[in-house]
Amino acid sequence: MLNAKTRYKLIPYAFLGIPVTIYFIWIIGPMLYSFYLSFTKWDGLTAPEFIGTKNYQMLFQDEVFYISLFNNLEWIILFMTIPIALGLTLAMVLNRDIPGAKTFKASFFLPMVLSLVVCGLVWSWLYSPHSGLINEVLRRIGLGALATGWLSNPKVVMEAVITVAIWRQVGYVMVLYLAGLQSVDQNLLDAAEVDGASALQRFFNVLMPQLAPVTVIVIVISIIDSLRAFDLVSVMTRGGPYNQSSVLANFMYIEAFNNYRMGYGAAIAVIIFIISLLFIMFYLTRIAREETNA
């Protein structure tokens, strides 16, 4: 029998035991199994056949993989620029005491409340080449030459899908920056103004350094969201036309569950995990360095 002191010390571990066990069963276990499957040939029905690194060799020779990777990189670049610029601008405008500020905040954040599936369906209607609102507006204002099949044109389909993601992301970034602006030291801004600093100088040399932690969080979240982009592509284009809107997550899903190449799909999942891990490690390293310096 354990004495009272020992039992008291074991209580925290007992409370942690159940969630940690569940985490290992539902998260760590499947992740490790996916690593194993990436070295196998498996159709999801028969027993997996170990084939070593053949899945990775085929993957790095697959043209669709490079198209998907490039599209993810384009998604990341646009996600780290446009939503951050628009979100910060909206946050700075709405952080002032202006009439209707709360209504505007709710309006801009509303798309974030909607599911990606709903957003994809609504924007698919807007992008309709014949009855869609976007092409109809272009025709009404005399720019009918710009009207096109936004989701069937290989030259613009990726940008059309990313536009929907950006439209949804701006409100989220705005809220994060609104929270960050509450901790900005107004005295520093006032002192810089008294010293004769211009508005741009105050913005880049005083305000942005104080918002740096929020900016890092926004960038990391944007990168992770970009790498696991799936819903919009699946609903709007399924990667078409000619795989020009394919992203890694959608490519993985099609290979695994449509083509029954589970091992190949697992290899794609491992690549996504490695890329995501690099950005996460960068974020954690930066946070640890800031806490050490503080």
For residue 255, give the nearest of 44, 31, 75, 32 by alpha carbon: 44
Q: Is 251 helix (H, G, I), strand (E, B) or coil?
A: helix
Q: Which residues of 94-127 are buried (b: 16+ CB within 10 A; e: fewer)?
A: bbeeeeeeeeebeebbebeeeebeebbeebbebb
Q: Is 41 helix (H, G, I), strand (E, B) or coil?
A: strand
Whether 8 is covered by a domain: the verdict is no
CATH number of the domain to which 230 belongs: 1.10.3720.10
What's the pLDDT score for residue 19?
87
**Which secondary-structure segment (H or E) carries 88?**
helix 82-94
Please state, rounded to an integer, the average pLDDT across all residues of the chain: 89
d(CA 289, CA 210): 16
Chain centre to alpha carbon of residue 26: 22
Give tens-digit pLDDT for 140-180.
999 888 899 999 999 999 999 999 999 999 999 999 999 99
Q: Which residues of 249-258 are buried (b: 16+ CB within 10 A; e: fewer)?
A: bbbbbbbbee
d(CA 117, CA 127): 15
d(CA 235, CA 103): 30
Whether 26 is covered by a domain: the verdict is no
Residue 34 — pLDDT band, cuts 50, 70, 90?
A: very high
User: Above 80 in pLDDT, residue 236?
Assistant: yes
What's the pLDDT score for residue 285?
81
User: Above 80 in pLDDT, residue 265?
Assistant: yes
Cβ pair 270, 252 in contact under 8 A: no
What's the pLDDT score for residue 44?
87
Whether 152 is covered by a domain: the verdict is no
Whether 161 is covered by a domain: the verdict is no
Percent of the chain scoring above 90 in pLDDT: 55
Q: What share of the chain is helix, strand, coil (3-state, %, to 5)?
A: 75, 0, 25
E-state strands within 78-155: none
Segment 33-38 mean pLDDT = 95
The total number of structural domains in the chain stands at: 1
User: Above 80 in pLDDT, residue 292?
Assistant: no
What tokens appear for 286 in the block?
């930066």
Whether 38 is covered by a domain: the verdict is no
Domain extent at residue 88: 61-117+167-293
d(CA 240, CA 25): 36
